């Protein structure tokens, strides 16, 4: 019989905190006159379409790139991996805005080259942008599954006469469906909770409508819409909980050594993705900077962004540890983990509003950095939990048992065995939270302390007023700092794979 884990009470407390904004929403929504009407149906269908197209697009782009970066021996392989994961460092709203400005009649592309390009908006535009900025999730999760697969099955298939492609298709693909599903669900969650992209590209989704209602003093309608959105989020979480991680015996991962021409062709084929998601936005920023110049920017904004994000990253990891432990331990812990995931689907503006009401009940918290950090933690805790759990899960439980057998207390075993072995997951999780917090806008706007301007809020300020040139420097800084966090995340991931990769040169 399984014992109750000591992590349960803590996890329960954290889950309770995570439910708090939902409770506030229920109270606020009680005043709403409309439960659901035909307009909601349209919003619902837009939201679901965007979610499905985003997930599909992310899979179509992400899976081949995962194969490329996991199995093909590339020159400067680390560089290509970072480059292909770099869209993570660019907030999708920046992508949406720059792509929107670049394409279409009269857009920047037409002004520079004279070639008229089709406009870029609506469901199509939003789906493309969201797919371009969420595919790294699919790529990274699938790549992790690919690297955990033993190559001997593929080798066996190939010695038995199967071509490379069909062996990948029928031997590898069935074993990574869970990885694909996990990545696709992450992409879907993103599409559900993102506000900037559909707002800029003119697609009426739940998040945009929540924002519109909120800004027209329809607080109760906004709360009602948020609850409806949460129902969809809950559904996705349920599906996600059905996706089981496969356990295979570890082995050396497949390595392919294609010729120089083929390697170049494969890399060339992946370049359009890099072009649209990274080069174009940076080029448009550069153009605006050149045309309109910087101005009015203060470095404190970057500093504010960075340390708020750092606090949030540390706090998220501290919160994530007990939740992840509980989730590994048993069913009740799994449930706690699911509950804490709700925050991921609460749009920032809703989280901000709910926490204003919570903060006002405890007025010493109101408008403090602590409350803002709490909002970040509640929103991005799932990212940290996911990263911590995935490393802790792979931990061999017999190590802890051995330590306990040798007389170590529970605490000591955790400190000396579990923690050091989960460090890479913790680092990766913290970096991921850092990335997200850096770009978070709506909750920051509502909850930040007085005189607290971040890169994202400054960007919003100049965008609203129409001074694009001034958006260039903070935009580029945001990308650079995010890229650093991304590098740290990969550093964490590298530890993750040293055990597999380091042996390779001697084998071949």
Partner 1 sequence: MQRRRFIQSMAALAAAGALPFSLSPAFAAVSVDDLPKLEGELTLYLGRGEGGLYENVLKAIEERNPGFKLRIRRGPTASLANAILAEAKAGVKRADLFWAVDSGAIGMVTAEGLAQPLPADLTGQLHENFQFSNWTPVTGRVRTIPFNTDRLKAEDIPDDIMALADSDFKIGWAPAYASFQSFVTAMRILKGDKVTSDWLRGINKHAKKYAGELGVVMAVERGEVDIGLANHYYSLRLKSGKPDARVDLAFTRNDAGCLVNASGILALTEGDLPINFIRYLLSKEVQSYLAEQAYEIPLVDGVKPPEGLPNLALISPPDVDLTKLADLRPTIDLMRNVGIL
Residues that bind partner 1 (CB under 8 A): 39, 42, 104-107, 119, 199-200, 202, 208-209, 211-219, 292, 295-296, 349, 352-353, 356-357, 360-361, 363, 366-367, 445-446, 448, 450-451, 453, 457, 461-462, 464-467, 469-470
- At residue 249's C-alpha, the angle toward residues 243 and 252, to 5°, is 110
How far apart are the C-alpha atoms of 495 and 507, rounded to whole Å? 20
Nearer residue to partner 1 within complex by CB, 64 or 122: 122
Residue 211 CB, nearest approach to partner 1 (Å): 8
Secondary structure letter of residue 249 according to DSSP:
-
Residue 175 CB, nearest approach to partner 1 (Å): 44
How far apart are the C-alpha atoms of 319 and 315, rounded to whole Å? 6
Secondary structure letter of residue 88 according to DSSP:
G
How far apart are the C-alpha atoms of 267 and 431, rounded to whole Å? 27
**Cα dist. 77→21, 450, 496 in Å?**
43, 45, 16
Residue 441 CB, nearest approach to partner 1 (Å): 11
Nearer residue to partner 1 within complex by CB, 270 or 367: 367
Neighbours of 480 (CB within 10 A): 11
Nearer residue to partner 1 within complex by CB, 219 or 283: 219
Residue 320 CB, nearest approach to partner 1 (Å): 29
How far apart are the C-alpha atoms of 140 and 81, rounded to whole Å? 9
How far apart are the C-alpha atoms of 351 and 347, rounded to whole Å? 6
Which residue carries 């997200």 as its tokens?
436
Classify 75 as helix, strand or coil: coil
Sequence-distant (6+) residues with CB within 8 A of 5 are 325, 326, 329, 330, 333
Residue 88 CB, nearest approach to partner 1 (Å): 24
Nearer residue to partner 1 within complex by CB, 188 or 223: 223
Residue 294 CB, nearest approach to partner 1 (Å): 11
Nearer residue to partner 1 within complex by CB, 219 or 335: 219
How many residues are recorded in the chain? 508
How far apart are the C-alpha atoms of 14 and 377, rounded to whole Å? 10
Q: Are 284 and 112 in contact (CB under 8 A)?
A: no
Residue 36 CB, nearest approach to partner 1 (Å): 13
Residue 216 CB, nearest approach to partner 1 (Å): 5
Nearer residue to partner 1 within complex by CB, 365 or 488: 365
**Cα dist. 298→29, 309, 313, 484 in Å?**
40, 18, 24, 20
Nearer residue to partner 1 within complex by CB, 179 or 352: 352
Residue 478 CB, nearest approach to partner 1 (Å): 17
Nearer residue to partner 1 within complex by CB, 118 or 397: 118
Nearer residue to partner 1 within complex by CB, 297 or 495: 297
Residue 436 tokens, joined: 């997200």
How far apart are the C-alpha atoms of 33 and 232, rounded to whole Å? 21
């Amino acid at each position: 019989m399984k014992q109750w884990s000591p992590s349960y009470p803590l996890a329960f407390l954290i889950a309770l905190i995570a439910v708090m904004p939902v409770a506030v929403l229920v109270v606020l929504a009680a005043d709403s006159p409309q439960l659901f009407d035909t307009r909601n149906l349209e919003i619902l269908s837009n939201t679901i379409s965007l979610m499905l197209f985003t997930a599909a697009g992310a899979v179509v782009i992400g899976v081949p790139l995962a194969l490329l970066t996991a199995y093909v021996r590339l020159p400067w392989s680390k560089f290509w991996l970072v480059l292909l994961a770099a869209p993570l460092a660019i907030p999708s709203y920046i992508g949406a805005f720059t792509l929107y400005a670049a394409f279409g009649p009269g857009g920047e592309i037409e002004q520079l080259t004279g070639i008229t390009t089709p406009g870029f908006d609506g469901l199509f535009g939003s789906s493309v942008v969201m797919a371009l900025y969420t595919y790294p999730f699919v790529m990274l999760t699938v790549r992790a599954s690919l690297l955990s697969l033993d190559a001997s099955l593929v080798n066996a298939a190939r010695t038995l006469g199967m071509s490379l492609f069909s062996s990948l298709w029928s031997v590898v693909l069935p074993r990574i469906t869970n990885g694909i599903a996990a990545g696709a669900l992450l992409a879907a969650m993103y599409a559900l909770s993102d506000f900037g992209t559909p707002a800029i590209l003119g697609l009426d989704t739940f998040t945009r409508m929540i924002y519109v209602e909120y800004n027209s003093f329809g607080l109760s309608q906004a709360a009602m819409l948020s609850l409806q959105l949460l129902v969809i989020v809950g559904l996705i979480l349920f599906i996600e909980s059905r996706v089981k991680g496969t356990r295979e015996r570890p082995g050396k991962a497949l390595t392919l050594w294609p010729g120089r021409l083929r390697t170049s062709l494969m890399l060339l084929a992946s370049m359009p993705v890099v072009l649209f998601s990274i080069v174009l936005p940076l080029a448009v920023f550069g153009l605006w900077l050149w045309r309109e110049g910087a101005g009015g920017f203060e470095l404190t904004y970057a500093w504010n962004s960075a340390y708020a994000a750092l606090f949030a990253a540390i706090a998220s990891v501290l919160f994530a540890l007990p939740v992840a432990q509980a989730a590994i331990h048993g069913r009740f812990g799994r449930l706690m983990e699911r509950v804490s995931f709700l925050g991921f689907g609460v749009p920032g503006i809703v989280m901000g509003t709910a926490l204003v009401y919570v903060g006002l009940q405890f007025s010493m918290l109101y408008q403090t950095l602590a409350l803002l950090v709490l909002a970040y933690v509640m929103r991005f805790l799932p990212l940290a939990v996911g990263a911590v759990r995935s490393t802790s899960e792979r931990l061999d439980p017999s190590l802890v048992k051995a330590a306990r057998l040798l007389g170590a207390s529970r605490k000591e075993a955790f400190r000396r065995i579990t923690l050091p072995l989960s460090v890479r997951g913790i680092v990766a999780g913290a970096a991921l939270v850092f990335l997200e917090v850096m770009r978070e806008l709506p909750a920051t706007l509502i909850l930040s302390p007085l005189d607290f301007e971040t890169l994202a809020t400054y960007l919003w300020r100049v965008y609203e007023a129409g001074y694009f040139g001034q958006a260039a420097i903070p935009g580029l800084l945001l990308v650079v700092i995010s890229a650093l966090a991304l590098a740290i995340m990969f550093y964490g991931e590298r530890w993750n794979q040293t055990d597999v990769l380091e042996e390779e040169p001697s084998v071949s």
